[in-house]
Chain A
Amino acid sequence: MAGGRVVKGLHFESLRDAGDPVELAKKYSDEGADELVFLDITASDEGRGTLRELVRDVASVIDIPFTVGGGIGSISDAREILRNGADKVAINTAAVKDPSILTGLMEIFGKQCVVVAIDGKRVPGTDGRNIFGTDAKYWFEVFIYGGKKGTGTDAIWWAGEAARLGAGEVLLTSIDYDGTKNGYDIELTGAVAGSVPVPVVASGGCGGPEHMVDMFKNTDADAALAASIFHYDSHGIRWTKEHLRGTGIPVRL
């Protein structure tokens, strides 16, 4: 979300309007989405809080779990979001700057409420803890402030550390793949999902159900998040889930 509207970008930029968040939430819940994730992607960047009333309006029209993130910088921000009906809060920038917020949130709300959102991007070189590539070496760096600022932190290491500190779930977005519709980042997702003891939600790059199938068959990720394919009606949620079931992946229909 940005400016109170649902938007979708490419590599976190070139935002395009997709509609009213409450209407979309109701529609997706009715069509059989298993969970919804709201990320106020400009909140952290612009330094303002997430819209509390929107959370309340969404919670009033759906009966599936939903996660809210973007600009949550403190325990009181999180409490506000949860009290207004969100099931989980996603923490990104604030957790990188002060990881103890994850422990604080876990102690008060339980780890099931605490999602660490990680935006990872390939960078050349061998500065990370987990190095990929045979000839040209690269690693995955954590980016914050909506993908604008590098941190020097290794994304795979950070996922494990965040889970150890109190996150009950990892929402992993590949900046390289975001908005491309070329499929999920199997390499990044596989590395994170194979090393953390909590559920991993893969995000970024979904262009159709075949990409979800590819991701579920090749990584240990627990869930697939998609945005564009649903926002712009190229694929319905039910149709997508029927396709998944047809390939032997157990889904709720």
Chain B
Amino acid sequence: MVKVAILDYGAGNLFSLKNSLERAGAEVYIVDEPSGCAGYSGVLLPGVGNFDPAVKKIRGKNTIFEDDILGKIPVLGICLGMEMFFESSEEGIEQGLGAIPGKVVVLPSSMKVPHMGWNSLEQSRQGRLLEGVQDNSWAYFVHSYMVKPEDPGVVSASADYGTSIPAVIEKGCIYGTQFHPEKSGPAGRLMLENFLTECSR
């Protein structure tokens, strides 16, 4: 059984994510320090909270997460978890983890913010996370910010919400979803299973 860690960095509700991963066949541990992520086959950064306190908590007093985990073993960032992979966010003043060049910007003001609800995913390239997921599958979003990668090639699916929102990103063994796969029905379940498959490689 593949062993993964959920890094708990604050206010988030981890119950659903833990449950979904267990139903997908993983052994799931919740760890509250980046150093606790060592020894697992994969790490998940769940998706609720505020950019500055979250990134501070992950960076801590050292760079263990950036040096030993991110880019070395599969990591899936969900929502804010994905946003932290980038260099900066309009939500805060702290530097991001910087694993993916680009920034995080607020959603267009012409739309209702936060964007809450189901939206369909337009796949732009074949990604590992999306293996077997039908094009135009729906996913559940709850967010006020979106990522803007410098290299559009890291985006494997997008959603339309007044503008094109990068919804799934992949760079090496770094994965991110702007939506919540643990709340996205059968399509989300498949993506979590695909992530666990990457973890067990």
Question: Footprint of B on A, CB under 8 Å?
Answer: 29, 32, 34, 56, 59-60, 63-65, 82-87, 108-112, 168-169, 197-199, 222-223, 250, 252
Cβ–Cβ < 8 Å partners of B118 in chain A: 34, 252
Interface of A is mostly: loop
Interface size class of B (residues with CB under 8 A): 20 to 34
Contact call A83/B13, Cβ cutoff below 8 A: yes
**CB nearest neighbor in B for A34:** B118
From known contacts A110-B48, A197-B112, infer whether A65 and B183 are also in contact, taking CB-CB under 8 Å: yes
**CB nearest neighbor in A for B15:** A85
The minimal Cβ–Cβ distance linking B99 to chain A, given in whole angstroms, is: 24
B138 within 8 A of A: yes
Contact call B112/A198, Cβ cutoff below 8 A: yes
From known contacts A64-B183, A64-B185, infer whether A84 and B114 are also in contact, taking CB-CB under 8 Å: no
Interface of B is mostly: mixed
Q: Render B128-155 as a binary contact track against A, CB cut-off 8 A, 1 for contact.
A: 0000000000101010000000000000
Q: Render B168-191 as a binary contact track against A, CB cut-off 8 A, 1 for contact.
A: 000000000000101111001100
- A-B interface, 3 closest residue pairs, ranked by CB to CB distance from nearest: A252-B138, A85-B15, A112-B142
**CB nearest neighbor in A for B13:** A82
Contact call A63/B20, Cβ cutoff below 8 A: yes
Cβ–Cβ < 8 Å partners of A223 in chain B: 117
Cβ–Cβ < 8 Å partners of A82 in chain B: 13
Contact call B13/A87, Cβ cutoff below 8 A: yes
The minimal Cβ–Cβ distance linking A128 to chain B, given in whole angstroms, is: 25
From known contacts A85-B15, A87-B13, infer whether A199 and B117 are also in contact, taking CB-CB under 8 Å: yes
16 A-B contacts (beta carbon < 8 Å): A32-B185, A34-B140, A63-B16, A63-B182, A63-B185, A64-B185, A83-B13, A83-B15, A85-B16, A87-B13, A87-B142, A110-B48, A110-B114, A111-B114, A252-B118, A252-B138
The minimal Cβ–Cβ distance linking B76 to chain A, given in whole angstroms, is: 16
Contact call A85/B13, Cβ cutoff below 8 A: yes
